[in-house]
């Protein structure tokens, strides 16, 4: 009798959790991962200029193979800004998430291989966005609706 009541309560709680809207997960993933990369990008610049410390980091700490550190500093900073904004507004979200997933893979492989738990959390949010999209509160959704109306 008690076991049945507990099982009923557990099922009711599971039902409640299952009814959470998926758009909430999409918005949370877009904001959480976007803020990680936006914050990183903003720390690398002073106005519209890359800081000397950014070049230093890419030369000494982030030293990547096959690409000059000056190019890597500029490319990474631009990509972090653009892809983060892409996630925030939900425009070309899957492509922005794919770009940030690629950056995460590079960071994991060449820069901070021991930070795999952090990178796995980023990758989880990014993979969700790649697979499921940005949700209804996005420019992508508005564009899709516009083209669906024409079909």
Residue 58 located in a structural domain: no
Which pLDDT tens digit goes with each residue over 2-22?
889 999 999 999 999 999 999
pLDDT for residue 150 is more than 80: no
Please name which of 70, 111, 87 lies closest in space to residue 34, comparing C-alpha atoms. Answer: 87
Residue 136 located in a structural domain: yes
Residue 55 located in a structural domain: no
Residue 69 located in a structural domain: no
What's the pLDDT score for residue 134?
Answer: 98
pLDDT for residue 89 is more than 90: yes
The band of 148, judged by pLDDT with boundaries at 50, 70 and 90, is confident
Query: Can you give the residue range of the structural domain that contains 102?
Result: 25-44+77-150
Average pLDDT of the chain, as a whole number? 96
Q: Total domain count for the chain? A: 1
- What is the average per-residue pLDDT within 129-148? 96
Residue 16 located in a structural domain: no
Which pLDDT tens digit goes with each residue over 25-83?
999 999 999 999 999 999 999 999 999 999 999 999 998 999 999 999 999 999 999 99
What's the pLDDT score for residue 149?
Answer: 74
- What is the average per-residue pLDDT within 120-143? 98
d(CA 109, CA 131): 23
Residue 125 located in a structural domain: yes
Q: Are 48 and 6 in contact (CB under 8 A)?
A: no
Q: Are 43 and 53 in contact (CB under 8 A)?
A: no
Q: Which residues of 122-135 are buried (b: 16+ CB within 10 A; e: fewer)?
A: bbebbebbbeebbb
What's the pLDDT score for residue 97?
Answer: 98
What's the pLDDT score for residue 151?
Answer: 61
What's the pLDDT score for residue 67?
Answer: 94
What's the pLDDT score for residue 1?
Answer: 83
């Amino acid at each position: 009798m008690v076991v049945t009541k507990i099982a009923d309560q557990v099922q009711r709680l599971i039902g409640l959790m299952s009814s959470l809207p998926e758009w909430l997960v999409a918005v949370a993933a877009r904001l959480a991962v976007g803020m990680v990369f936006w914050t990183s990008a903003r720390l690398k610049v002073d106005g519209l200029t890359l800081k000397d410390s950014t070049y230093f980091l890419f030369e000494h700490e982030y030293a990547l193979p096959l690409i000059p550190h000056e190019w890597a500093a500029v490319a990474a900073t631009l990509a972090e800004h653009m892809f983060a904004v892409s996630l925030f507004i939900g425009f070309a979200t899957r492509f922005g998430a794919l770009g940030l997933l690629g950056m995460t893979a590079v960071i994991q492989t060449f820069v901070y291989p021991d930070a795999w738990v952090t990178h796995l959390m980023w990758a989880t949010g990014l993979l969700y966005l790649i697979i499921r999209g940005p949700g209804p509160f996005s420019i992508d959704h508005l564009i899709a609706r516009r083209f669906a109306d024409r079909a």
